[in-house]
Structure 1
Amino acid sequence: MFNRTTAYILIAALAAGLGLWAAIGHFGPLTPAPAQPDLQAVRLFDPPRTLPDFKLAQSDGTPLERAELQGHWTLVFLGFTHCPDVCPTTLAQLSHAQKQWASIPQPTRPRVLFVSVDPERDSTELVGKYAHAFHADTLAATGTLPDLEAFTTSLSMVFAKAPIAGVDDPAAYTIDHSATIAVLDTEGRMAGLLRPPFEPVKIAADLKALTGVPAE
């Protein structure tokens, strides 16, 4: 025998069923989100964020265009060649990760992009020599101050020129900048990030997984 509570439950269930039926009719069959690999270091965003157009110059003088960042997972790190500690340490760690994924075919191999945010002192040529000293495959780029500000803002990163304490020479300065690493997917979208401390083995394993390389 039905009581009033039972009737309410049945009505609610019927309404939920009709709502699901209407959703399927309007949007098509419901499918689960694609499975993501188990990652140790990379934190992915859902959904990835499309970046606005940007203007940077590579170390060989050619423009860094969006198309060049497609087809590969890319790690973007900000820095400058006069950096005394964080930049060389991070690039050395990334070079260890790059060596571990070197066997991946070039068309899909993950990449590292080093962007200098010190346009006053860092020419494209100098940026290239600096980055390639750590790993020959590293992409290196810089740009004008407005272009760098636009690019880094799109990655939710920051940088700022700062005086060196106790030094009066205006030519002696440092650059404060974000220490995180942006992770771009194969469509050149902001798909996630890496936070320090960086562990090359875990970074390499994550990038292999994202590229589709079976775990060893």
Structure 2
Amino acid sequence: MNSRLSTLLIAIFAALLGLVAGWYFTIGKQVDAAALAKVHTYVYPTPRLLQPVSLTNLDNKPSTLGDFQGQWVLVEFGYMSCPDICPTNLAATNNAMKRWREEYPAYPVQVVYVTLDPARDTAERMKEYLQYFDPNFAGLTGNVEDIRSLAMQLNTIFEIEKPDEDGNYVVSHSDNMALINPAGEFVAVVKGPHNAEALFTAMEGVIPPLTSLYDLTAPYMPCH
């Protein structure tokens, strides 16, 4: 076998290896609608536009979700006085994001935590609170009606219950998270209960080019 033919065969073999690797990291990583449903994730056939809602970031400056455009965003709702679900969700999100940054550093996802209890969750308190989970997490607060406007657009409902005789109260809310694409559109809702593995699978199944998002036909499921 002459050297020119050997070089050609090596080049063809290298190209085939590249194609196989490309297939693995795109087609091979796809998660279909049925698999997403198993992790309580439902994708809109067409991404939904969001109406801008003015809130306040952790530096006490006006902010909207539009400030995070250009990257994928995972929006999580909760409140600091929540006794169980909210801190559990934040811990799960933290673990999912650690793994995500290790496996997919080229596809960053910004977590945005929106409080449902702005009277108690000031920007200063939230900033300190979120540091315990992940200093990369962003946070938003604001007035109740503006937060409700954003929450309803992202399939989350909540109700601040009447306080007891000591002034303590809870916030009843649905356990949903939302995936927003880099254009600022709502593309998928991730319903609870949440854990790190399920959140990772949800992101892997929704974020292109890791999946063929717009070929998915999972039905939209409203929150309860």
TM-score by length of 2: 0.71
* Secondary structure, counterpart of 1:193 in structure 2: strand
Distance in 2, Cα, partners of 1:150 & 1:98: 27
CA root-mean-square deviation: 2.3
* Secondary structure, counterpart of 2:87 in structure 1: helix
Distance in 2, Cα, partners of 1:43 & 1:134: 26
- Residues 67-96 of structure 1: CA deviation (Å, up to 9, x unaligned): 322222211111111111010001001101
Choose the corresponding residue for 2:31, options 33, 38, 42.
Answer: 38
Structure 2 partner of 1:64: 63
Matching of residue 183 in structure 1 with residue 183 in structure 2: no
Contact 1:58 1:140 in 2 (8 A): yes
Quick one: which amino acid aligns to residue 78 of structure 2?
A: G
Instruction: Compare CA radii of gyration and give the structure with the larger one.
Output: 1
Structure 1 partner of 2:195: 199
* Secondary structure, counterpart of 2:161 in structure 1: strand
Relative distance call for 1:199 and 1:95 in structure 2 (3 A) is: same
Matching of residue 173 in structure 1 with residue 172 in structure 2: no
Contact 1:110 1:211 in 2 (8 A): no
Quick one: which amino acid aligns to residue 177 of structure 2?
A: I
Distance in 2, Cα, partners of 1:172 & 1:99: 34
Contact 2:49 2:186 in 1 (8 A): yes
Distance in 1, Cα, partners of 2:95 & 2:208: 18
Q: For this pair of structures, how many residues does the alignment match? A: 176
Structure 1 partner of 2:119: 120
* Secondary structure, counterpart of 1:76 in structure 2: strand
* Secondary structure, counterpart of 1:173 in structure 2: coil
Give the drift of 1:130: 1.4
Quick one: which amino acid aligns to residue 178 of structure 1?
A: S
Structure 1 partner of 2:21: none
* Secondary structure, counterpart of 1:101 in structure 2: helix
Query: Structure 1, unaligned stretches of length 5 or more?
Result: 1-34
Distance in 2, Cα, partners of 1:61 & 1:121: 15
Distance in 2, Cα, partners of 1:124 & 1:162: 22
Structure 2 partner of 1:25: none
Distance in 2, Cα, partners of 1:60 & 1:129: 11
Distance in 2, Cα, partners of 1:66 & 1:76: 9
Give the drift of 1:155: 1.4
Query: Structure 2, unaligned stretches of length 5 or more?
Result: 1-26, 212-224
* Secondary structure, counterpart of 1:78 in structure 2: strand
Give the drift of 1:208: 3.9
Identity among equivalent positions (%) equals 26
- Residues 150-207 of structure 1: CA deviation (Å, up to 9, x unaligned): 111221321111136xx322x2111111211112112111111111122312322442
Structure 1 partner of 2:144: 145
- Residues 31-76 of structure 1: CA deviation (Å, up to 9, x unaligned): xxxx993153332111111000111111122332343222222111
Question: Would you tell me which structure has more helix in proportion to its own residues?
Answer: 2
Contact 2:89 2:195 in 1 (8 A): no
TM-score by length of 1: 0.73
Contact 1:73 1:207 in 2 (8 A): no
Distance in 1, Cα, partners of 2:158 & 2:198: 27
Distance in 2, Cα, partners of 1:212 & 1:105: 13
